Structure 1
Amino acid sequence: MTGYRDFAAPEGVRIRGTVLVLPGRGESQAGYGRFGARLAADAYQVRVLPPSTDLSVADAALKEAVSSIDLVRPLVLAGADTGAAVIAALVAQSSPEKAWWPDAVVLAGLPGYDGRQGGGRDEELDLRTHCPVHRGVLTDDPAVVPGSLAEAAPAALLDAAYGSTADVPHLLLTGDADPLADHAELNRLAKSLPQARLAVVRGGHHDVLNDLQHRSVAAEIVTFLEAVRGGVPPVPLVEVVATAW
C-alpha cells in the first residue's frame, strides 16, 4: 500500500513502541505531521495510514502496515473522527489472532450519531480547530475534502464502536467544545469498557489532536503510552498527591 507517512524515533534511541494512526473524514496523512513528529521525538515510531470507513479495507491496511514495519511493541492504534470509530469497531469485532491486534487504542474525536455539521469551508474549519497552524495545514492540503463533516458517520460503524466491550486499554479523547461529539454516549462507552480512560480537553474542538491544546493532548497520549508499556492494566507513572490547582 502506498501513502504511508512515517515518523522515526531519533537515531541511536531505543524505540519504545509503535503507533499506527487512522485519520477521519476529509483528512489526509498530511494533517498529522506535527502529531507524528512529537510522538517520534519521545522514541515512538509512528505510521499514518490513509483514511477509510470500510472495515475490511482498514483491516487489510493495518495488516500490511504492521507487516512492512520493524514492529516494536507495545502496538497502539490511534484514530480520529471516523478513524476512531473504525479502530473501535475493528477491535470490538476482531480477535487477538490478528497480526495488527493492539496492546491499546486511542480514540480521538469519536463522533456521535448526529455528528455532522453543514456550512462553508470557514465554518468547517471552525468546527475542526482554532489552531492557526493546523488551519493553514488543512487549507493548503489538496487532499482535504471540504464538506466532509456535513455527512454523518455510518450508523452501523458507530453501533459497533459504541457497543464495544473489548478488553484492551482505551484512551478516549474529546473536546468539550466539539459539537459533533455525544458526551453522554462517550461517558457510557467509557464505563462499559473494561479498561478505559476518558479525557476531556477544555476548549477543545473536533480535531482534538490538532487543536490549540495539541501539546497537552500529546502529553496525555505519551503518558498513556508509557503506562501501557508498564503492563496491563496500565498504571500512570506519576501520581498527584497534593495540589493547589
Structure 2
Amino acid sequence: MTLAEAIRWAPAEGVPVRGTVVLLPGRGEHPALYARLGTRLAFDGYRVTVPEADLPVKVSAGPGPVVLLGHDTGAVRALALAAHLPVDAVIASGLPLGGSTGWDDELDARTACPVHRALLDADDRFARGELHTPVTGPLAEPEVPVLVLHGEADKVAGPDAARAYAAKLPKSRFVLVGGGRHDVLNDVDHRSVAAEIVQFLEWRRAGTGTPALVRG
C-alpha cells in the first residue's frame, strides 16, 4: 500500500456516501496502520480521510455526518478541534490519561492481535518508543456527542480516568472493550469495535443518541 492509498478510503463506486470520518493517528503511528478499519468503514458507506501530517485539519460539509476519529494523542487533538471545526461528533480511542502501569514491552502494551503485532514488528515507518513520551494538559470538553473507546487491559493509560472524563461531557458514550489493550482500534476485538463505531455513526445520521433498531 502506498502512502497515497493509505490516507483515503472511499465506498465502492455507486455506493452513496453516508458520512465522513476524519482519522487522526496517535503516537508512533501512520495512516497505513488503519487500513483494516478504513476499509471496513468504507464498506459500510463512510468516507475515511487522514489529513496530511503537519498541516491544519480541514473538513467540509456532508453528505451525512462529519466525525473526527482520533486515537491516543490523535484523540486529544480531535477533542480540541471539535471546538472550532464544523463536525457532528468525536470518537476518542485510547485516551492517554494517567501514567503507565509499568509495562515493559511496547508491542505487548499496544495490541494482542497477532496480525497487527506482525504489521508493527515489520513496519519501518512505525516509530517505536513514542508511547514513552508523556502527555500533559487538560482535555477539551466539546459540546458535540463523543464516543469514548478504551481497553480494559490498557497498560499505557488505565480505563478509570477515561470513564471519568466521559462522565463529565454533556453528550458522551463510554465503551469499555473487555480485555482490550491500548490500540483498541487494532486489537483482537477490532471487528466489534468497528461495529460499535458504525453504530455510533448511524445514530448520528439518524439524529439520535440511542439505537435506532426495532426489536420485538
Q: TM-score by structure 1 length?
A: 0.80
Indicate yes or no: 2:64 matched with 1:73: yes
Matched residue, 1:86: 77
- CA offset at residue 238 of structure 1? 2.9
Correspondence for 1:227: 203
Partner of 2:32: 30
Structure 1 spans left out of the alignment, 5+ residues: 52-56
Report % sequence identity: 44
Query: Partner of 1:8 in structure 2?
Result: 10
Q: CA RMSD in A?
A: 2.2
Pair 1:126-2:108 in alignment:
yes
Count the aligned residue pairs. Answer: 213
Question: Match for residue 216 of structure 1?
Answer: 192
Matched AA of 2:129: G
Secondary structure, aligned partner of 2:20: strand
Deviations 1:187-229 (A, max 9, x none): 2211111110000001100000000000000000000000010
Which residue of 2 is the match for residue 139 of structure 1? 121
Identify the residue that residue 207 of structure 1 maps to in structure 2: 183
Q: Are the aligned partners of 1:29 and 1:49 in contact in 2 as well (CA < 8 Å)?
A: no
1:61 aligned onto 2:38: no
- Describe the superposition over 1:169-202 as per-residue Cα deviations: whole angstroms up to 9, x where unpaired: 1000000000122433222211111110000001
2:166 alignment partner in structure 1: 190
Q: What one-letter code is carried by the residue in structure 1 that aligns with 2:170?
A: P
CA contact 2:185–2:194 (8 Å) conserved in 1: yes
> Quick one: distance in 2 between partners of 1:226 and 1:29?
24
What is the TM-score with the length of structure 2 in the denominator? 0.90
Q: Distance in 2 between matches of 1:148 and 1:116?
A: 16
Q: How many Å apart are 1:151 and its aligned residue? A: 1.7
Q: Which runs of 5+ in 2 are unaligned?
A: none
2:56 aligns to what SS in structure 1?
helix
**Amino acid of the residue matched to residue 30 of structure 1?**
A
Pair 1:71–1:115, CA change in 2 (3 A) = farther
Map of 1:165 onto structure 2: 141
Distance 1:62 1:205 in 2: 28
Give the residue type in structure 2 aligned to 1:48: V
Q: Give 1:235 shift.
A: 2.5
Q: 2 CA distance for matches of 1:183 and 1:132? A: 23
